[in-house]
């Protein structure tokens, strides 16, 4: 009798675990205000709300897994996470990832090169990067001319906060990012008094996608998520989410 009860317990536990796994949507996220932020130990931001919207449409519970950007990318490529937001499309990434159409966001803000005012660096052209030590976010893709260049001295860091700190300490000459992701990481005083933006910038619009892992069972929802996303973009839902969240980061 004891053996029968024990076997029943094991079978029940296995069923409950499998059911929980089947009803979860594992989301790889990294902190990137204003898209994803941590407030009062809770993840908030437009990407979080968009993921909640999509997860609800396929009756799955989102489980957010915080990770550095390069670790998030590895997890989604290997199937340890199901879904991720904010990636640009490339042939190498398409081998492991399904890019959900349409892009949920068209990034039109230019990529800027941030430098220290006290160094008075003249960065007016792409060739001016050659003698500089440039900070980059590990695993990030910026623009082909920069990504494929092997003569520029690049130092990879794991977070945007590290990029800011390394620049302020003078340990790198510049880094490239969009202003909206840098502003939340700096005090107004440091931004105004210590940082300057180089003349050279990359100002072409870039499509930003939601991706599913090709190694996840969730990939069967790709068509459904594409329909839901297209409708949310068309009816203005995504734009409402974006505007509501951006107010939190507007500086007077």
Four-residue CA torsion sign, 37, 42, 43, 46: negative
Question: Residue 21 above 90 pLDDT?
Answer: no
How many Cα atoms are found within 13 Å in the side-chain-facing hemisphere of 30?
21
C-alpha–C-alpha distance, residues 33 and 111, integer Å: 16
Q: What's the pLDDT at 250?
A: 60
Question: Residue 249 above 80 pLDDT?
Answer: no
Q: What's the pLDDT at 3?
A: 45
Query: Between helices 237-246 and 222-234, what is the axis angle to 10°?
Result: 70
pLDDT-based confidence at residue 33 (cuts at 50, 70, 90): confident
The per-residue b/e assignment along 201-211, b for 16 or more CB within 10 angstroms, e otherwise, is ebeeebebbbb
Question: Residue 139 above 90 pLDDT?
Answer: no
Q: What's the pLDDT at 252?
A: 36
C-alpha–C-alpha distance, residues 240 and 244, integer Å: 6
Residues of each domain in the chain carrying CATH 3.40.190.10: 2-106+208-249, 111-202
What CA–CA distances, in Å, run from 160 to 116, 156, 182, 242? 16, 11, 7, 21
What is the fold, at CATH topology level, of the domain defined by 2-106+208-249? D-Maltodextrin-Binding Protein; domain 2 (3.40.190)
Four-residue CA torsion sign, 75, 33, 209, 20: positive
Average pLDDT of 8-16? 41
Task: Quote the mean pLDDT of the chain.
Answer: 89
Q: Count how many residues are written for the chain.
A: 252
Span 34-71, pLDDT tens digits: 899 999 999 999 999 999 999 999 999 999 999 988 89
- CB atoms under 10 Å from CB of 111, counted, come to 18
With a pLDDT cut of 70, the percent of the chain lying above it is 89
pLDDT-based confidence at residue 16 (cuts at 50, 70, 90): very low
Between 248 and 148, the higher pLDDT residue:
148
Span 73-129, pLDDT tens digits: 999 999 999 999 999 998 989 999 999 999 999 989 899 999 999 999 999 999 999
pTM: 0.78
pLDDT-based confidence at residue 198 (cuts at 50, 70, 90): very high
Q: What's the pLDDT at 233?
A: 97
C-alpha–C-alpha distance, residues 240 and 107, integer Å: 16
Average pLDDT of 147-173? 95
Contact indicator for 176, 146 with CB cutoff of 8 Å:
yes
Q: What's the pLDDT at 49?
A: 96
- Per DSSP, 152 falls in state S
Q: What is the CATH number of domain 111-202?
A: 3.40.190.10
C-alpha–C-alpha distance, residues 184 and 34, integer Å: 8
């Amino acid at each position: 009798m004891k053996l029968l009860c024990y076997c029943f317990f094991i079978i029940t536990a296995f069923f409950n675990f499998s059911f929980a796994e089947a009803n979860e949507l594992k989301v790889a996220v990294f902190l990137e205000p204003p898209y994803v932020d941590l407030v009062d130990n809770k993840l908030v931001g437009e990407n979080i709300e968009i993921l909640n919207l999509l997860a609800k449409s396929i009756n799955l519970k989102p489980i957010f897994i915080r990770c550095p950007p390069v670790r998030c990318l590895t997890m989604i490529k290997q199937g340890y996470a199901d879904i991720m937001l904010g990636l640009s499309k490339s042939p190498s990434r398409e081998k492991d990832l399904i890019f959900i159409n349409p892009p949920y966001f068209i990034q039109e803000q230019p990529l800027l090169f941030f430098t220290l005012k006290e160094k008075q660096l003249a960065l007016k052209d792409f060739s001016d990067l050659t003698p500089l030590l440039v900070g980059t976010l590990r695993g990030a893709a910026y623009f082909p001319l920069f990504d494929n260049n092997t003569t520029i001295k690049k130092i990879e860091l794991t977070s945007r906060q590290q990029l800011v700190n390394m620049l302020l300490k003078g340990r790198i000459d510049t880094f490239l990012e969009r202003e909206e992701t840098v502003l939340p990481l700096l005090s107004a005083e440091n931004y105004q008094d210590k940082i300057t933006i180089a003349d050279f910038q990359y100002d072409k619009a870039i499509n930003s996608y939601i991706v599913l892992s090709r190694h996840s069972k969730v990939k069967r929802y790709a068509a459904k998520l594409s329909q839901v996303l297209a409708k949310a973009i068309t009816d203005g839902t995504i734009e409402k989410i974006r505007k509501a969240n951006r107010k939190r980061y507007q500086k007077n």
